[in-house]
Amino acid sequence: MLYTENLEEIIFNRHQMFASDELIVLSGYVGPKPIERLKSLPIPSKVVYGMYGAEGIKRPLHNSLINLQKSIDRLNIFYSNLPVHSKCYAWRNNGQIVHALVGSANFSTNGLTTPYREILAETTVDTFNPLNEYIKKVLNNSISCLEVGMSKISTTVLDTVCFLSLLGRNGEVQNTAGLNWGQNPKNHTNKNDSYIKIRVQDVKDFPELFPPKQINPLKFDGRGRLHRHNDNIEIIWDDGVCMDGLFFGNQTIDDRMYPKQVSSFPHSAEMGKYLRRRLNVPEEQPVRKFHLDRYGRNTIGISLISEGVYRFDFSVNSKAVTI
């Protein structure tokens, strides 16, 4: 069988189909949210971040993985010293593979939740032994995330940062959009709903941060046009808080469609509540410019720290940008 949709649910329910006592995940890149979900499984898990040997790891992602390693029982996170770009999900029983999926899907929200972008396929029984030997070789050349040396932790997260403004074009916080999206009673039931605007110039200046939207070949919008995917991402805030996010909305730039906003997902109120806490604004209350002035910042810095995993910086320090 070959799978192109619902990959995350397939992975997290597969143990029910086979007698297994362990899940092994080899992934070129990883994200914290699927790893966090492993605590719901009744069997132990090992996760290997494959491209560590070639690229190291950036500090925000490393810190998130360390926190998960320390907080989740029956989980071991490893970094491969061999550059491994493969994606493999193997269920073992008494050390032998009983089922496996291989393909292109990284163990991240972005890799597992965008339909048709990635695939996973069941392997045949005759591949179990060589696949198990491959897994053993990778594990034997890996280290625990708790053992990583500082030389392999990249501190260059801020090399490429796009500062997204929290203000409208008039220099004020919008009344019923942006941070106050949920304040429009016609469109929303949760007053905490918020998003961050992505402007045309942001995309032009930082194309590596905002990929063009891909066509979903099997879905059409209400006017008969091909529907374009919204990209699921993972967000790691400067204070270590993690949440799933979504690039959504449409804007055409040089004949290509790009996202127009970013928010938390599936509930945009999660980001709204989070930012209100940091700004010391009560929940469901509108955010005003004086709140940002009081806090000391009216932008959020966005940088890419791994495939589909972003750092959002709302800290108040010497590098914070106010416009």
Q: Is 140 exposed, middle or buried (0-12, 13-18, 19+ CB in 10 A)?
A: exposed
Residue 7, pLDDT above cutoff 90: yes
Report the mean per-residue pLDDT for the chain.
Answer: 90
Residue 76, pLDDT above cutoff 60: yes
Among 158, 156, 160, 164, which residue's Cα sits nearest to residue 321? 164
Residues 6 or more apart from 81 whose CB is under 8 A from it? 52, 53, 141, 142, 143
For the chain, domains (ranges, CATH) are 2-154 (3.30.870.10), 157-313 (no CATH)
CA distances from 131 to 19, 128, 137 (A): 18, 5, 10
CA dihedral 9, 101, 118, 15 (to 10 degrees): 10
pLDDT tens digits along 235-291: 999 999 999 999 999 999 998 999 999 999 999 999 999 999 999 999 999 999 999
Averaged over 217-231, what is the pLDDT? 52
Averaged over 96-109, what is the pLDDT? 96
Tokens of 55: 């690229």
Q: Is 177 exposed, middle or buried (0-12, 13-18, 19+ CB in 10 A)?
A: middle
Residue 77, pLDDT above cutoff 80: yes
Residue 172, pLDDT above cutoff 50: yes
* pTM of structure: 0.84
Residue 303, pLDDT above cutoff 60: yes
The confidence score (pLDDT) of residue 323 equals 67
Cα–Cα distance measured from residue 132 to residue 170, given in angstroms and rounded to the nearest whole number: 60
Q: Which residues pair with 153 in a beta bridge?
A: 57
Residue 225, pLDDT above cutoff 70: no
Which amino acid would we find at residue 248? F
